[in-house]
Amino acid sequence: MFKKTLKWLGVGLGLAAATVAHAASDYPNRPITLIIPVAAGGTTDIAGRALAKQLKDELGQPVVVENRPGASGSIANSYVARAQPDGYTLVLSYEGFHTGNPVLMKDLSWDPVKDFTPIAEVIRGPHLFLVPANSPAKTLQEFIELAKRKPGSMNFASSGVGSIQHLGGELFQLKTDTDMVHVPYSGAAPAMQDLLAGRIDVFITTPPTAMAHVEAGTLRALAITSNQRHPKLPNIPTTAEAGLPEFQLEAWFSVFGPARMPADVVEKLAGAMQKVITSDEFKSQMSAQGSNASYRSPGELGQIVKDDLAKWSEVVKTAGIAAN
* pLDDT tens track for 127-160: 999 999 999 999 999 999 999 999 999 999 998 8
Q: How far apart are CA 22 and CA 77, in angstroms?
A: 28
E strands, the chain, are 32-36, 63-67, 89-94, 116-126, 128-132, 155-158, 181-184, 202-205, 219-224, 250-258, 292-296
SS3 of 324, please?
coil
Q: How far apart are CA 184 and CA 114, in angstroms?
A: 27
Mean pLDDT across the chain: 90
Please report, for the chain, the start and end positions of each structural domain, with discontinuous segments joined by +: 2-125+251-319, 126-250
**pLDDT per residue as tens digits for the range 176-188:** 999 999 999 988 8
Residue 5 has pLDDT above 50, yes or no: no
Residue 211 has pLDDT above 70, yes or no: yes
Q: At 323, is the pLDDT very low, low, confident or very high (cuts 50, 70, 90)?
A: low
Sequence-distant (6+) residues with CB within 8 A of 164 are 94, 95, 96, 100, 127, 249, 251
Strands 155-158 and 202-205: parallel
pLDDT of residue 132: 98
The mean pLDDT of 4-16, rounded to a whole number, is 49
Rg (CA), the chain: 22
Name the class of domain 126-250: alpha beta
Report the topology of domain 2-125+251-319.
D-Maltodextrin-Binding Protein; domain 2 (3.40.190)
